[in-house]
Structure 1
Amino acid sequence: MMTMFHRRVVPVLLLGQVAYVALLEFAFTFLVPDTAEIDHTDPQTSGTVLYLVLAAAAVLAMAGGAVLLGSAQVRDRTPRALRVGWLILLGLGEVAIAVMFLRVVVTGALSPDTLIGVLASVASCAVAWSCLTETSTVLRGTPA
């Protein structure tokens, strides 16, 4: 049962997170009104580039983790050190995501965002737990 969770459900959760990030990026890029002329502000290019690099790295880490956890061929061909490092970084990132969502849930007013925050934090905790379990399996050398 747990193998099915780690191999099927967690990759779907990770791909759902990738889709969520892509949807938010699309919305913030194309659906926000341009108020630069009203506010007399110019967009900062260095902050935008750093943000895009970090967002792309997060999406790459989540998508790579989904492939690593979901595909037996990729898992077998990936060197042990790379697999352990990737899963540890992904797990730590998921814990950070869960904490950020829980902070919004605790400090915000009761709204639909509360439900989204709770569901997202539960999904992130499940992914982090799966990464921890998979990492311990790899380190012990037991077959998955």
Structure 2
Amino acid sequence: MISFRHRVAPVLLLCQVAYVALLEFAFTFLVPDTAEIDHTGPSPSGTALYASAVAVALLAMTGGAALLGSARARAGTPRALRAGWLIVLGVGELAIAVAFLKAAASGASGPDMLIGLPAAVASCAVAWSCLAETTALVRGTPA
């Protein structure tokens, strides 16, 4: 399972980063602007908070991919920081899996289910990898 944890999980994380970046691009540039018509323009502080939350999530996922996939990154990161980062990432991945499953369960069969079920499985696999890596780190066993 070391190869899954160190080879497949980082790729899954980077695919998630690409997915989020693609959705953010699509929602930013490809959606018609009806704010003037509806008088529902977003507040600048809400937009900044949302952008910050997305940036932090992408940074956490990219950093987690580096920690899982690169022996050099693992060796250069203090144990406590690495364990904390992977725990937070694992919990975040479980939250992502729950969100995907809720979206898939609430809608009819279609795109939400087609994307949601594999994405939930991928998120659970990444969460398991984070847990396994943290367990190995705490026990002091070699990765």
Which one is further off, 57-66 or 105-114? 105-114
Cα distance between partner residues in 2 of 1:128 and 1:115: 21
SS of the aligned residue for 1:84 comes to helix
* Superposition map of 1:31-46 within 5 A: 31-46=30-45
* Superposition map of 1:77-96 within 5 A: 77-96=76-95
Displacement over 4 Å in runs of 4+? none
* Superposition map of 1:1-144 within 5 A: 2-144=1-143
Q: For each residue in 1:14-73, what CA deviation from the matched residue of structure 2 results, as whole angstroms up to 9, or x when unmatched?
A: 000000000000000000001012112332111111100100000000000000100001
Cα distance between partner residues in 1 of 2:58 and 2:111: 25
Which one is further off, 106-115 or 117-126? 106-115
Cα distance between partner residues in 2 of 1:85 and 1:108: 35
Percentage of pairs with the same residue: 70
Cα distance between partner residues in 2 of 1:89 and 1:42: 33
Cα distance between partner residues in 1 of 2:101 and 2:77: 33
Cα distance between partner residues in 1 of 2:40 and 2:8: 44
TM-score (norm 2): 0.98
1:62 partner amino acid: M
SS of the aligned residue for 2:141 comes to coil
1:36 partner amino acid: A
Please list every run of 5 or more consecutive structure 1 residues that lacks an aligned counterpart in the other structure: none
Cα distance between partner residues in 2 of 1:45 and 1:96: 27
* Cα root mean square deviation, aligned: 0.7
TM-score (norm 1): 0.97
User: Aligned residue pairs: how many?
Assistant: 143
Cα distance between partner residues in 2 of 1:65 and 1:9: 12
Cα distance between partner residues in 1 of 2:30 and 2:115: 20
- Tell me by how many angstroms 1:112 deviates: 2.2
Cα distance between partner residues in 1 of 2:40 and 2:105: 33
2:59 partner amino acid: L
Cα distance between partner residues in 1 of 2:41 and 2:25: 20
Cα distance between partner residues in 1 of 2:16 and 2:95: 14
SS of the aligned residue for 2:50 comes to helix
